Structure 1
């Protein structure tokens, strides 16, 4: 049996990929509207996901009774969440959105996990999560923008908080299905449904795209989003979450702000404050502490390839 540390490394890798994408996506946003770019990210990944699924598992089918569940998960986890993220950023500050989108998410997962799984919330997870939360706050609030609770940002703040709440339910709703199917199969099908539901929101944006303005960095941003942010990240995250447990896994989202800050410094000349560096070390300390917890939350093995193919 492989050490669970491999899966913890997978969670950190995915968080870094997602965090770096905050900066990389800026290039594509110069040409595409947010709705169109998000649709391209997921829809272009669908053929590759189904091809990989067929090659690796010998089939792509799921039972008809599970299609509705996958459709609901895709609608919430891809369509609704991506739209909420966009509008939360539009109606509040970036600091507010970053903190409220990321920080409460693992807390909501920990609170609601008993409704979906048999995971145990231990003292190590609580202490490590609290330490990591402090690190996130130091990174976000230690930047050039500060957290602002003014009434003019209330709508955006509420939308950002809703992202965390729905995101937690989205992650947890995947867990029962991953007792029956592989992470690859669950991911592929809910991304398909999420993309279908997302398409109507892009109809106004296609006419505004200046296709002649596409440059190498923009193509690179599309490739990064399709291959790394979607195919690699979603599959690795779901696989790792299934093995480690939803509660522990989602605290590793706290790596995302640190990765975003580093990407901004490397590619866009943004400054990194001492407070943010301290915050990064605090986050890693909390996550290491969580990783030392030995109580497992009923991580489940996948069904066999023969069962999946039937």
Structure 2
């Protein structure tokens, strides 16, 4: 990777993480109208035709071999259907602070530990130091809020689900890397999102009749459009392309921008207060990520 262009991929990671963080506020509003799983299904099902259209325009074809399709089906089942449902229920069965911390903080650690199964990536001293600093910062961002961290038995199911999200998410990201050695990020994203959306459909069957479709407001349509065009169509392609260039282990630390962006969204959309601990944690997290991004790196090679 040319060093003078490396910043573009880091910028892509930061931008996407900020978009996903801001989506906590957008989705919270949408949940007043839609069942969470139905809303996730609408997001991916509406985005799917756009993915295929862009793929055909850019590459002139949309197909993949049967063997690859089966791999992408498994990735979609785990990384889209399973991950989205696990996130929703982790939020339902534990506090938002617990879910945010356990969904996000361990993810890069699991990616680093599991990375050798998929990629020949090395753990440098700079990555370890920057990663620890960023993780400490994101913990302050989450725990510095009014909810804190609650380890009571009432939240144990949600806590375990949230921790599972970090493991599943890390495996999901890493499993995409070898495929992107042969196929573009757009093609890989298009197919695993399509399969994930199809597997998700049965879980929505009881929710369609509960929505008053004729009375949807402009804010409902705006939330859908934001999720389809920005959070899915734009973000999945940019994240995957940037992750392939930067490396899964390094890229996943940039997920720590998500909670900081979610806190900012809460401040602007819901007038939630930002504590000094959260502000300090954000500064610490940014410093860690900048430290990681300044390292010179040779592209990782997928295993196999």
TM-score by length of 1: 0.95
Equivalent position of 2:26 in the other structure: 24
The separation in 1 between residues aligned to 2:260 and 2:83, in whole angstroms, is 22
Equivalent position of 2:58 in the other structure: 56
1:195 paired to 2:197:
yes
Residue pair 2:120, 2:301 contacting (<8 A) in 1 also: no
Equivalent position of 1:228 in the other structure: 230
Which residues of 2 match residues 91-106 of structure 1 at below 5 A? Answer: 91-106=93-108
Residue pair 1:19, 1:257 contacting (<8 A) in 2 also: yes
Q: Deviations over 1:1-42 (max 9, x none)?
A: 561110000000000000000001122111110011000000
Cα distance, 1:244 vs structure 2: 0.4
Which residues of 2 match residues 1-310 of structure 1 at below 5 A? Answer: 1=2, 3-298=5-300
The separation in 2 between residues aligned to 1:213 and 1:271, in whole angstroms, is 32
Structure 1 residue ranges, 4+ long, deviating more than 3 angstroms after superposition: none
Cα distance, 1:297 vs structure 2: 4.2
Using the TM superposition, name which of 86-95 and 251-260 deviates more: 86-95
The separation in 2 between residues aligned to 1:44 and 1:30, in whole angstroms, is 20
Cα distance, 1:213 vs structure 2: 2.8
Aligned partner of residue 5 in structure 2, secondary structure:
coil
Cα distance, 1:299 vs structure 2: 5.8
Residue pair 2:76, 2:192 contacting (<8 A) in 1 also: yes
TM-score by length of 2: 0.97
Cα distance, 1:212 vs structure 2: 2.7
The separation in 1 between residues aligned to 2:265 and 2:99, in whole angstroms, is 18
The separation in 1 between residues aligned to 2:294 and 2:32, in whole angstroms, is 43
The separation in 1 between residues aligned to 2:299 and 2:146, in whole angstroms, is 39
Q: Deviations over 1:57-99 (max 9, x none)?
A: 1111111111110000000010000010011111111110000
Aligned partner of residue 296 in structure 1, secondary structure:
coil
RMSD of aligned Cα (Å) = 1.0
User: Structure 2: any 5+ residue segments left out of the alignment?
Assistant: none
Aligned partner of residue 144 in structure 1, secondary structure:
coil
Residue pair 1:120, 1:295 contacting (<8 A) in 2 also: no
Residue pair 1:125, 1:290 contacting (<8 A) in 2 also: yes
The separation in 2 between residues aligned to 1:265 and 1:217, in whole angstroms, is 18
Cα distance, 1:214 vs structure 2: 1.1
Q: Deviations over 1:122-168 (max 9, x none)?
A: 11111000000011011100011010111111111101000000100
User: Structure 1: any 5+ residue segments left out of the alignment?
Assistant: 301-310
The separation in 1 between residues aligned to 2:213 and 2:136, in whole angstroms, is 43
Aligned partner of residue 271 in structure 1, secondary structure:
coil
